[in-house]
Structure 1
Amino acid sequence: MSRGGSGARTRVKTGRGRTASSTRWLARQLNDPYVRRAKAEGYRSRAAYKLIELDERFHLLKGVSRVIDLGIAPGGWSQVVRRTAPKAAIVGIDLLPVDPIDGVTIFQMDFMDDAAPDLLTEALGGKADLVLSDMAANTTGHPQTDHLRTMALVETGCAFAADILRPGGAYVAKVLAGGADNDLVAELKRLFTTVKHAKPPASRKDSSEWYVIAQGFKGRAQPARENNDAP
């Protein structure tokens, strides 16, 4: 799969009412080969290629029949799942509105809402093969605060994945530079047979995002039953 593009770079002039930072953002978008490719191939965002590249490496979408997409907006990841596994049931959630995607059930609400897990579970109609999370907390400009807020989403997603995944399933979540912290990695290793960090080529080099890929869900340990027959 080609990673780059050819041709001259597009220069963007600072227009009336446009700040220098917005001009730089627009120039980056116009000259980004992933943005151009997403437009040409019908994906809603360049983020679709992050999942495509992660799937090439970890085979996340092979044989999936039920998938949860946390932080679905604008829908690029679910589009990838639909094209790769067209018969799979897909349920997504996001605070932001998302245009309908054929074959995908979408809820516009906060995943941290107490009602969200039950809604997602009921809509999926069975145990998931894969839980995807591209969620990230709104940035404050304070790296430590941003990291803690995003990790809270990752941890909540992990707890949800442990409830809804079938044995052998996988959980993929966006984390920031440095990856998942030690406590979360320990929990993931307890729940999954393999836990790795990856930064797909489509993730911009200047971005702090990485992804944690946990595969081979071991299943929830059943609590010991009390023996009520003892004299």
Structure 2
Amino acid sequence: MSRSGRDPDRRVKTARGRKPSSTRWLERQLNDPYVQKAKADGYRSRAAYKLIELDDRFSLLNGVKRVVDLGIAPGGWAQVVRKKAPRAEVVGIDLLPVEEIEGVTILQTDFMDDAAPKALEEALGGPPDLVLSDMAANTVGHKQTDHLRTMALVEAGAWFACQTLEKGGAFVAKVLAGGTDADLLALLKQHFRTVKHAKPPASRKGSSEWYVVAQGFKGRDED
């Protein structure tokens, strides 16, 4: 037992009907310090700390006025934006329902829908300084297929950023192991002054996720 009187490595009994994978997930959640910290700090998910750590390294939220959050559910990243840039306009989109966040416009629709990009632009009221994407496709259990599906979302997010960003703006997206695909990397390097990969400490060690951080959007007149 720890000095707090709690077992430092809490175990979950396997309930009847519960899959072993579900039990392992519950154990991981109970023993994850970021999950506990998120509850204490009022964030909806541990993912909030990924953006906090990326911002600490890349100063993504300094002076931003308009932010788009692609894949906003459950809302942890938008909460961080609101806390660090309270005057910024924030618009998020997700297929899943998301509880209201003060100062954030939330669109519940598919980002891959043809009408979604225009709806985001109209809701934001001007070009974004920052486009965030924590989108990931629903997994089907086939590693290569899951990777391709998620990278298709990342590429769609990148094209949206290149078509809408304010000059000097930034694009941040979750990618999977192996980093950004060659074609997408070439697209980002064409449109942004710097493109880097990062794995914030809040990303679980066993996770295949990385983040691509593209900063210094050149503007459509320099393509």
Normalised by the size of structure 1, how large is the TM-score?
0.92
1:228 alignment partner in structure 2:
none
Question: Could you tell me which residue of structure 2 aligns to residue 188 of structure 1?
Answer: 188
How far does residue 7 in structure 1 lie from its aligned partner after superposition? 6.2
Provide the rounded CA distance (Å) in 1 between the counterparts of 2:11 and 2:143. 31
Residue of structure 2 in register with 1:69 after alignment: 69
Aligned to 2:81: 81
Q: In percent, how many aligned pairs have the same letter? A: 74
Task: Tell me which residue corresponds to 2:174.
Answer: 174
Match of 2:163 in 1: 163
Alignment of 1:10-159 (within 5 A): 10-159=10-159
Amino acid at match of 2:78: S
Cα offset for 1:221? 2.6
Instruction: Report the secondary structure of 2:113's partner residue.
Output: coil
Q: Quick one: which amino acid aligns to residue 145 of structure 1?
A: T
Return the alpha-carbon distance in structure 1 between the equivalents of residues 161 and 32 of structure 2. Answer: 33
1: CA distance between counterparts of 2:22 and 2:60? 35
Q: Which runs of 5+ in 2 are unaligned?
A: 1-5
Aligned position for 2:3:
none
SS at match of 1:105: strand
**Distance (Å, rounded) in 1 between the aligned partners of 2:148 and 2:21:** 26
Q: Which residue does 1:227 correspond to in 2? A: none
Moved more, 7-16 or 128-137: 7-16
In 1: Cα distance, 2:101 partner to 2:174 partner: 22
Pairwise CA distance, 1:205: 1.0
Aligned residue-pair number: 218
> Which segment drifts farther, 145-154 or 101-110?
145-154
Structure 1 spans left out of the alignment, 5+ residues:
1-5, 224-231
CA distance in 2, matches of 1:66, 1:26: 37
Q: Equivalents in 2 of 1:133, 1:57: separation in Å?
A: 17
Deviations 1:70-100 (A, max 9, x none): 0000000000000000110000000000000
Give SS of 1:171's match: strand
Quote the Cα distance in structure 2 between the aligned partners of 1:94 and 1:21. Answer: 26
| SS of match in other structure, 1:172 | strand
- Give the counterpart letter for 1:93 in structure 2: I
Offset of 1:105 from its aligned partner? 0.1
| Equivalent residue, structure 2, for 1:3 | none
Q: Which one has a bigger Cα radius of gyration? A: 1
Corresponding residue SS for 1:204: coil
Partner in structure 2 of residue 226 of structure 1: none
Please provide the CA RMSD for this pair.
1.3
User: Could you say what secondary structure the match of 1:128 adopts?
Assistant: coil
Aligned-partner Cα distance in 1 for 2:11–2:155: 42
- Extract structure 1 runs of 4+ deviating beyond 6 A: none
Q: CA deviation at 1:14?
A: 1.0
Q: CA deviation at 1:16?
A: 2.2
